Structure 1
Amino acid sequence: MRLRRRRRGVRMAEDSPRLGEEARPNENQHDNRSGASGQDGSRDRGLIEAVDLVIRSRSAPDLFREIAPRILDLTECDFLKFSQHDPSQNCMVTHYWSRTQESGQCDAFAVDECVTGWVWMRQETITISDVEKEKRYPTCMQELRKHGVRSYTVLPVSTAKRRFGAIGLGKKVPEILDSGDLEFFHRVAFLVSLALENQQAHRDSKEQRERLQGLVTIGRQLSSSLELETLLTLVFANVRQITGCDHTVLALLEDDRKFLRAYAVDHVPGLESLLTDRYRRVLTAEGTAARAIETRSVTVWTTEDLEKSGIPVTKKMLEAGIHSLCNVPLLLGEQVLGSINVGSLRRNAFHPEDTEYLQQVANLIAPAIRNANAYREVAQLKDRLAGEKRYLESEIRSEKGWDKIVGSSPALKRVLDYASIVAVTDSTVLITGETGTGKERVARAIHAMSRRKERSFIKVNCAAIPTGLLESELFGHEKGAFTGAVSQKIGRLELADKGTLFLDEIGEIALELQPKLLRVLQDQEFERLGGTRTIRVDTRLIAATNRDLAHAVEEKQFRSDLFYRLHVFPLHLPALRDRSEDIPMLVNHFVEKSGVRLSRRIETVPAEALAAMRQWSWPGNIRELENFIERSVILSEGSVLRAPLAELRQEISRQRGGAEGTLEDREREHIIEVLRQTRGVLSGPRGAAARLGLKRTTLQYKLQRLGISRTEYIA
């Protein structure tokens, strides 16, 4: 059996590929048929009716259903098949009609597994003279035999623009079509191709109108508000409706350009599993959008591409049923903001007109993202400035005169010298000392001498704020983060951006908050409570405590890694009893300050009062002295300060009378005397530890417990 193949009715060369044996037509029969004018007239009328059907048809199934019976009536064929190519599945979808059986739709066949697919690819006419003897395409041949077809001819259906499919004509006798029949069927195929072209043009026109309307709608949506994430949900729903996609993700590059973060997700029911990627931060190089971002052009992935990619996220997509993917870069001038990533459950879903439309959508979204980011930055700056204003107003009311550090003792001067050295750097400073020694004033002095002096100095007392609220106070929170969070709050860390954050009583911070604070010290970044966006700051940290943090680390009450991060440059403030020579200056300062506030004019401080005050150990340090002076000014009626000395003498007598107090005072005085003799040296055969008969570590513990700083006695 040989096969006759024609291109538009022209016989092919003998060396062309053959599917079967060629059957030659009966010339006399051909002459008889060509001369049958009645049959020609009937066919002409049939073609005129077909033209009318072509004009009125709006879908391929309707066209095939109307035209197929007429073709069978006008010919001696017993079986008719229309096969249309489906590009999404790359298969031939087939409709058939038979004189003896009802019409129907066959299963779709892969292009390379059926005769009509061969004709569609090659655009050549094929004639099989005897189906029973044909060995190739067994599934198709079996279907033809089921309908009693013995001979079969297939013609391509195409125009200059498109290849649509093929028409198959079958007879129940093993004979081929003569030239007249073949010419007639070519004319029918031509009319069908025109109808399909017309339908396609109609669909293209409709889709183009829908796309244009969709772009107008998206532009209107994006310009209606600056709450971008809410708008993008509406935009992507519009994109899904127009393109038929099933899953859309907007991913934006972070400042370092190394990471992408998903901000908006849209999907059809059944793809909920992919929503776990919402707000997920991934390396740009590990995502499917890497190529689109690098080349600044649209990238389309087929099923085979996704299977071969080796990218972890594509495996999850395939498991969810995604078989096509399109990555569209978000371009704003020379800058790449991120990408729109669109997935479909269909194979080969994205055609050139789809990618062009998605690029137009991206061109609308990119400036909207820029505007939304600018709006968010302005809003954050406004909130930050408002927060700074409120904070600074309260600071001004409560901290007038903060910059005045009174005293001229060597111990205080040494601390201030170290403070001036570290101030010009951005290093973390840990200020230690007993309560009331002026740690905050030293911290403010460091800020005032630094390059950050024009920016904010933000203070947080970690001991005064409950643990449950301290995280919100430090890091801020988003609206709805917890019950009562009715609005967004800017944390103290953000307020201190480009400035200094002072954490007083840092030893009281809860263990569960310490890792988050450590991250700020290491990376200068954090997230608000209830938020997902990483916020970066440039903040200098100064911490203060009256606790022995090293001992707290040993007791597992403070993280060692945080302690070492804080202990970059320690400063220890001496207690007031260790710089008693500064007491007269402090007394005069507090007398003047309290006198102005209380409208009292004090001109003289009795020497007896000063001597008594220098004898008192002042366990509350400068704060206790200030309060004592204020009480004295209140009691003074004239220009001479009337200090309640009986109160001091009673306390001094009580302490001296107490055995425990006497032993501790004597121990302290003895250690100080030895430190003076050894000039602050602890170790070695001539060191203070050896003279006192103590281990060096034991002596260090006693110095910490008694509030003695050996640096004050170093020559």
Structure 2
Amino acid sequence: MNDVKKLSGKKIRTIPISNEEWNKHLIAMINSGVEPELLEFFHQLKDERDEYRILVDITNSVLAHLDRDGMVAAISEDIHRYFAIPSVSIAFLDGGNAVHFPVIHCLWKEGKGNYCEQKNYPLAESDIQNRLQHPQAVALNAETTEPLLHDLYSVGMQVALLLPLTFNSHSPGILILAHTDIGAFTPAVCSLLGQIASRISIGVDNSNAWNEITRLKDALKQENTWLNEQIQNAESLNDIIFQSTAMKNLLRQVEIVATSDSTVLLLGETGTGKELIARAIHKLSPRSAGPLVKINCAAIPASLLESDLFGHEKGAFTGATSTHIGRFEMAKGGTLFLDEIGDMPLELQPKLLRVLQEREIERVGGHQVIPVNVRVVAATNRNLKQMVEEKTFRSDLFYRLNVFPVEVPPLRDRPEDIPPLVTSFTRKLAARMNKTIDTVPAAGIQALCRYPWPGNARELQNVIERAVILTEGSTLNLQLNELKIPPAAAPIATVHVTPRKLPAMFNPQTPENDDDERARILQALRETNGIVAGPKGAANKLGLKRTTLLSRMQRLGINTREL
């Protein structure tokens, strides 16, 4: 007899007995005058052997594939080989989409082989879910109202057998077998196909689980990428350093708009710190517990920007091997920062407008409408009004973005912010490079205040970074020859701004001038009787290192002997 074994817990194998061997046994039994009852039993064993072989082969095909396309193609090939059924389809009803359900069709044509394709059918126009209760054969004709069955009729099928795929008390889909012969599905064939459907149910359920794991893995990978971007680009909110009236006025606007959920448009030259302002808006908003997701519309090719924003479904285009979650879905419950919005391709702008108006998206290659709960902050260094006049930016999108415009002033219009920025950049970059730099030449700061800074704060940071790299001692080695700074017409007076009560993240930092610093050091030295080092020394009292205090005393001309 045919022996059925389970090997390694993975696949089921049979030790096949060929038809020739069965026929030899049958002829020998007939020649030996075996009773008809025994011959009938022998035929029954042969039929059972054939059924086992079919079930084992199809089970192996199911276990060998986790992806839907490969599984359906393998199952279709087995069913066609054993039953000559020309059309095999599986409808996936896993509840993942309330609008459409996918069906993978495999059609066999005489002499041309087979081809498989996936098609989505509208759930509202289909009664496919009502057919999940019992297996049923349906005669096909031109009047069939079911879109899926009508498509089968249009390729020459006359009858379809619908077999629910039930596993663990739920139905992940339906196996649909169609034939050109109206009498193809006999009771015996239907019985065996029912057993096949129960095995396919396990495969479909596993495939759905694998798709969900793949989706979550893709989402986690994208989230990790986003978190790495945040870690690399993150600036402390306390790094909004200012002492100018222009920045005070700007941050008042930030405080006001942050508490609303309105779209904000940040305008300003490159390098002015628009991303820092976007972070501040998010941090002060009711959405601060949610993610802040950034996308640079100028850094992503136009062909990929739509997928990056809205996501795409598996198979939407060549290379789309899995479902991709876009930035709008990643920013759920938080803020989406659209940087360089002026560089968004014109053909993509209507889709962004629809999202802003309807608060819903559709992934590329998908038909499901996905609601999004996102606050949008956009930024650009381009003149959008002029672009609207030149027809290179849609006017309706501009008006939708321009709900609350915020102009970030350039650095040349707020030179009083340069000294604290220089101090902050020096401290951070020196710490990053494991250097101790505690002195910035006053003449260098005055020269920096005279420069127009076309690259704004970003250019200033680059100049300071170069100076820190070249510094070998404790005094910042500024290299200003390449900046072509105009000569000073008169000494620049320090601008003092009375601080208004703002959040801690907006505390202005006023630099200490030499006279104030000299007076503070002298007072500490008098209180410690001229002792510089030690637990009772002036350095400890001032919160400075001994070498730092000695360096400042030397620069300011302070001698303990003169106290």
Q: CA 1:594/1:554 → structure 2, altered by over 3 Å: closer, same or farther?
A: same
Alignment of 1:370-519 (within 5 A): 370-389=205-224, 392-393=227-228, 396-397=231-232, 399=234, 401=236, 404-407=239-242, 409=244, 411-413=246-248, 415-416=250-251, 419=254, 429-448=264-283, 457-467=292-302, 470=305, 475=311, 493=327, 496=330, 498=332, 501-514=336-349
Using the size of structure 2 for normalisation, the TM-score is 0.63
Tell me, yes or no, if the aligned pair for 1:247 and 1:268 is still in contact at 8 Å: yes
Cα distance between partner residues in 1 of 2:327 and 2:354: 12
Q: CA 1:489/1:316 → structure 2, altered by over 3 Å: closer, same or farther?
A: closer
Could you say which residue in structure 2 is the equivalent of 1:182? none
Could you say which residue in structure 2 is the equivalent of 1:238? 78
Cα distance between partner residues in 1 of 2:216 and 2:381: 35
Q: CA 1:267/1:402 → structure 2, altered by over 3 Å: closer, same or farther?
A: same
Which digits, 9 at most, give the CA deviation of each residue in 1:470-503, with x for residues without a partner? 5676657979966xx6987967638936465533
Cα distance between partner residues in 1 of 2:312 and 2:422: 41
- Secondary structure in 2 aligned to 1:373? helix
Tell me, yes or no, if the aligned pair for 2:447 and 2:488 is still in contact at 8 Å: no
Cα drift, residue 269 of structure 1: 0.5
Tell me, yes or no, if the aligned pair for 1:246 and 1:343 is still in contact at 8 Å: yes
Tell me, yes or no, if the aligned pair for 1:274 and 1:317 is still in contact at 8 Å: no
Amino acid at match of 1:601: I
Cα drift, residue 322 of structure 1: 1.3
Cα distance between partner residues in 2 of 1:207 and 1:575: 86
Which digits, 9 at most, give the CA deviation of each residue in 1:368-414, with x for residues without a partner? 23322322332343344345445644654565657622225555455
Cα distance between partner residues in 2 of 1:329 and 1:392: 43
Cα drift, residue 435 of structure 1: 1.1
Cα distance between partner residues in 2 of 1:279 and 1:377: 18
Could you say which residue in structure 1 is the equivalent of 2:458? 623
Cα distance between partner residues in 2 of 1:425 and 1:335: 45
Which digits, 9 at most, give the CA deviation of each residue in 1:624-645, with x for residues without a partner? 3323444555677765657667
- Secondary structure in 2 aligned to 1:503? strand
* Match for residue 438 of structure 2 among 592, 602, 608: 602
Could you say which residue in structure 2 is the equivalent of 1:266? 106
Could you say which residue in structure 2 is the equivalent of 1:223? 63
Task: Note if 1:301 corresponds to 2:142.
Answer: no
Q: CA 1:214/1:502 → structure 2, altered by over 3 Å: closer, same or farther?
A: farther
Structure 1 residues without counterparts, runs of 5 or longer: 1-55, 58-194, 655-715
Amino acid at match of 1:523: E
Cα drift, residue 259 of structure 1: 1.3
- Secondary structure in 2 aligned to 1:337? strand
Tell me, yes or no, if the aligned pair for 1:501 and 1:539 is still in contact at 8 Å: no
Could you say which residue in structure 1 is the equivalent of 2:360? 523
Could you say which residue in structure 2 is the equivalent of 1:144? none
Cα distance between partner residues in 1 of 2:193 and 2:404: 56
Q: More relative contact order in 1 or in 2 (CA 8 Å, sep 6+)? A: 2
Cα drift, residue 579 of structure 1: 4.1
Cα distance between partner residues in 2 of 1:358 and 1:429: 60
Cα distance between partner residues in 1 of 2:313 and 2:124: 32
Could you say which residue in structure 2 is the equivalent of 1:675? none
Cα distance between partner residues in 2 of 1:506 and 1:618: 24
Cα distance between partner residues in 2 of 1:427 and 1:353: 66
- Secondary structure in 2 aligned to 1:526? coil
Tell me, yes or no, if the aligned pair for 1:433 and 1:572 is still in contact at 8 Å: yes
Using the size of structure 1 for normalisation, the TM-score is 0.52
Amino acid at match of 1:298: P
Alignment of 1:643-662 (within 5 A): 650-651=485-486
Cα distance between partner residues in 2 of 1:274 and 1:284: 27
* Match for residue 591 of structure 1 among 408, 414, 426: 426
- Secondary structure in 2 aligned to 1:603? coil
Could you say which residue in structure 2 is the equivalent of 1:548? 383
Cα distance between partner residues in 1 of 2:283 and 2:266: 16
Cα drift, residue 453 of structure 1: 5.8
Cα distance between partner residues in 2 of 1:285 and 1:351: 32
Q: CA 1:308/1:630 → structure 2, altered by over 3 Å: closer, same or farther?
A: closer
Cα drift, residue 321 of structure 1: 1.9
Could you say which residue in structure 2 is the equivalent of 1:285? 124
Amino acid at match of 1:603: T
Amino acid at match of 1:252: F
Which digits, 9 at most, give the CA deviation of each residue in 1:55-93, with x for residues without a partner? x99xxxxxxxxxxxxxxxxxxxxxxxxxxxxxxxxxxxx
Q: CA 1:232/1:426 → structure 2, altered by over 3 Å: closer, same or farther?
A: farther
Cα drift, residue 324 of structure 1: 0.8
Task: Note if 1:250 corresponds to 2:90.
Answer: yes
Amino acid at match of 2:96: D
Amino acid at match of 2:99: K
Could you say which residue in structure 2 is the equivalent of 1:106? none
Cα distance between partner residues in 2 of 1:593 and 1:212: 73
Cα distance between partner residues in 1 of 2:143 and 2:308: 49
Could you say which residue in structure 2 is the equivalent of 1:214? 54
Cα drift, residue 230 of structure 1: 0.6
Tell me, yes or no, if the aligned pair for 1:387 and 1:495 is still in contact at 8 Å: no
Tell me, yes or no, if the aligned pair for 1:456 and 1:495 is still in contact at 8 Å: no
Amino acid at match of 2:109: P
| The structure with more radius of gyration | 1
Could you say which residue in structure 2 is the equivalent of 1:149? none
Cα distance between partner residues in 2 of 1:418 and 1:337: 53
Report the more deviating stretch, 214-223 or 610-619. Answer: 610-619
Cα distance between partner residues in 1 of 2:458 and 2:367: 42
Cα distance between partner residues in 2 of 1:207 and 1:450: 72
Tell me, yes or no, if the aligned pair for 1:433 and 1:573 is still in contact at 8 Å: yes
Tell me, yes or no, if the aligned pair for 1:428 and 1:567 is still in contact at 8 Å: yes
Amino acid at match of 2:265: L
Q: CA 1:285/1:393 → structure 2, altered by over 3 Å: closer, same or farther?
A: closer
- Secondary structure in 1 aligned to 2:204? helix
Amino acid at match of 2:208: N
Q: CA 1:345/1:565 → structure 2, altered by over 3 Å: closer, same or farther?
A: farther
Cα drift, residue 433 of structure 1: 1.8
- Secondary structure in 1 aligned to 2:239? coil
- Secondary structure in 2 aligned to 1:322? coil
Cα drift, residue 438 of structure 1: 0.8
Cα drift, residue 420 of structure 1: 5.5
- Secondary structure in 1 aligned to 2:118? coil
Amino acid at match of 2:156: G
Cα distance between partner residues in 2 of 1:468 and 1:652: 49
Q: CA 1:233/1:647 → structure 2, altered by over 3 Å: closer, same or farther?
A: closer
Report the more deviating stretch, 431-440 or 246-255. Answer: 246-255
Cα drift, residue 267 of structure 1: 2.0
Cα distance between partner residues in 1 of 2:47 and 2:252: 77
- Secondary structure in 1 aligned to 2:88? strand
Identical counterparts, % of pairs: 34
Cα distance between partner residues in 2 of 1:562 and 1:280: 34
- Secondary structure in 2 aligned to 1:279? strand
Cα distance between partner residues in 1 of 2:138 and 2:316: 39
* Match for residue 411 of structure 2 among 551, 562, 576: 576
Tell me, yes or no, if the aligned pair for 2:335 and 2:377 is still in contact at 8 Å: yes
Cα drift, residue 603 of structure 1: 3.4
- Secondary structure in 2 aligned to 1:590? helix
Tell me, yes or no, if the aligned pair for 1:496 and 1:539 is still in contact at 8 Å: no
Alignment of 1:698-713 (within 5 A): none
Tell me, yes or no, if the aligned pair for 1:519 and 1:525 is still in contact at 8 Å: no
Tell me, yes or no, if the aligned pair for 1:433 and 1:575 is still in contact at 8 Å: yes
Which digits, 9 at most, give the CA deviation of each residue in 1:149-176, with x for residues without a partner? xxxxxxxxxxxxxxxxxxxxxxxxxxxx
